[in-house]
Amino acid sequence: MTTVSNKLMTAEELLKLPKGDGRRFELIRGVLIEKMPGGDPHSEAVVRTGTVLTVFSDDYDYGDVRSGEPGYRLDRDPDTVRAPDVAWFAPGRLIRGRPGFPELAPDLAVEVKSPGNSWPEVRTKAAMWLNYGSQQVWVADPPTATITIFRLNTAPVTLGEDDILDGGDLLPGFSTPVWRLFRRRR
């Protein structure tokens, strides 16, 4: 992530930035931050995780999934707008079709670790999501094919590609082999 400007910006100004040049931004306490592209393994993990969650949500008619780095306004004055790689909301929490950035954190935020992210940065971002109200944060790491699950006041748990990712109380009935989030077949 790169700071674009030290001039404070609002969420409304962020929405008005020109689109179409492929650049992605977040606001952190009013400071505009550019997010760097993650590459193909990152993209595949985002698509596969979003797909697995969407199929679960559709099959069970339970919750809403968003991907493509949707922005969520987490704080005001100065504004913070963050964008997880994939977001899942419990039934009834996300009001569809409203303009602007929804003012809530997803129940589940999924972040796919980019090559340029350090683990301290990833842990800080996971803690941020939890502090703003997410119940879980899943961090997918494509090079190691692992998922690290963060919960508030609980030590993180890392699952390897041979493990089963279970939705627990947050996503009852959800279960998938970790490898499925990184590639088509074993």
Q: What is the pLDDT of residues 69-96, one digit of tens each?
A: 789 999 999 999 999 999 999 999 988 8
Nearest to 129 by CA among 137, 119, 141: 137
Q: Read off the pTM.
A: 0.91
Task: Give me the domain span that covers residue 81.
Answer: 37-181
Would strands 136-141 and 108-112 be described as parallel, antiparallel, or unpaired?
A: parallel
Residue 29 lies in a domain: no
116: CATH: 3.90.1570.10
Q: Is the pLDDT of residue 21 over 80?
A: no
Residue that is written with structure tokens 């703003």 in the block: 132
What's the DSSP call for residue 154? E
Q: pLDDT tens across 94-153, in order?
A: 888 888 899 999 999 999 999 888 999 999 999 999 999 999 999 999 999 999 999 999
- Residue 24 falls inside a structural domain: no
How many domains are contained in the chain?
A: 1
Nearest to 114 by CA among 184, 182, 36: 36
